[in-house]
Amino acid sequence: MTTVQDLPRIVSSKATVRFQDCDPFNHLNNAAYIDYFMNHREDVLLEHYKLDIYGMARKEGKSWVSNSSQIHYFRPALLMETLLIESQLIRHSDSELFVEMRMYDITRNVLKAVIWCGFTHYNLVKKRREIHSEPLMTLFGHITEPVMALTFEERIEQFKSNNPSIYI
């Protein structure tokens, strides 16, 4: 039996860049990156943490709304390329979550993009911010994997300094 202590802190999934998501240069359209990141996160929440955010919204009238996102593009994702997307909860509060997601080529050698997203726990019935339940706070306490950067810009500089040839 898996316990909350055994849950992974960094989770990953694969995605293939589709034609309809590309620009005329056969690059993933900048706006589509967010869709790929969000689809990844929804899938891994259900797969690894059994957290069905849509079921929760239907049954409890509670879910999370996006409140911020910052994205940095390093290299283009190309038409029909298989990507590896990783994510982790980097911090949380009683009503907010902050997630970092990274998109790589399938070998994890080429970083394509990084995004930081903020989410507010929200009561869809009362139409206001919601405090996380005790079980959610326990889960978040076990799966949070902080990064050594206080700002998004600082985090991007860490990626650049660890790999000076990161740009085309």
Query: By the 8 A CB rule, do 28 and 78 touch?
Result: yes
pLDDT of residue 163: 78
Q: How many domains does the chain have?
A: 1
- Note the pLDDT tens digit of each residue in 75-90: 999 999 999 999 999 9
**Contact status, residue 89 vs residue 44, Cβ threshold 8 Å:** no
Q: How confident is the model at residue 1 (pLDDT cuts 50, 70, 90)?
A: low
Q: How far is CA 77 from CA 21, 49, 162, in A?
A: 10, 28, 21
Q: Is position 85 within any domain?
A: yes
- Rounded to 10 degrees, the C-alpha dihedral 137/51/37/19 comes to -170
142-158 pLDDT per residue, tens: 999 999 999 999 999 99
Residue type (1 letter), 31: A
Mean pLDDT estimate for the chain: 95
Which pTM was predicted? 0.94
- CATH number of the domain to which 110 belongs: 3.10.129.10
What is the pLDDT at residue 155? 98
Cα–Cα separations (whole angstroms), residue 39 to 27, 48, 149, 150 = 18, 14, 25, 26
Give the model's confidence band at 3: pLDDT under 50 very low, under 70 low, under 90 confident, else very high.
confident
Contact 44, 11 (CB under 8 A): yes
Q: What is the pLDDT of residues 23-51, one digit of tens each?
A: 999 999 999 999 999 999 999 999 999 99
User: How far apart are the C-alpha atoms of 162 and 157, rounded to whole Å?
Assistant: 8
Provide the residue range defining the domain that includes 154: 11-162
Q: Is residue 91 part of a domain?
A: yes
pLDDT of res. 167: 61
Question: Does any domain span residue 129?
Answer: yes
Residue 90 · residue 145 · CB < 8 Å: yes
Tokens coding 85: 């997307």
Q: Closest by alpha carbon to 110, among 48, 168, 155, 46?
A: 168
Q: Which of 48-57, 131-140, 157-166 has the lowest mean pLDDT?
A: 157-166
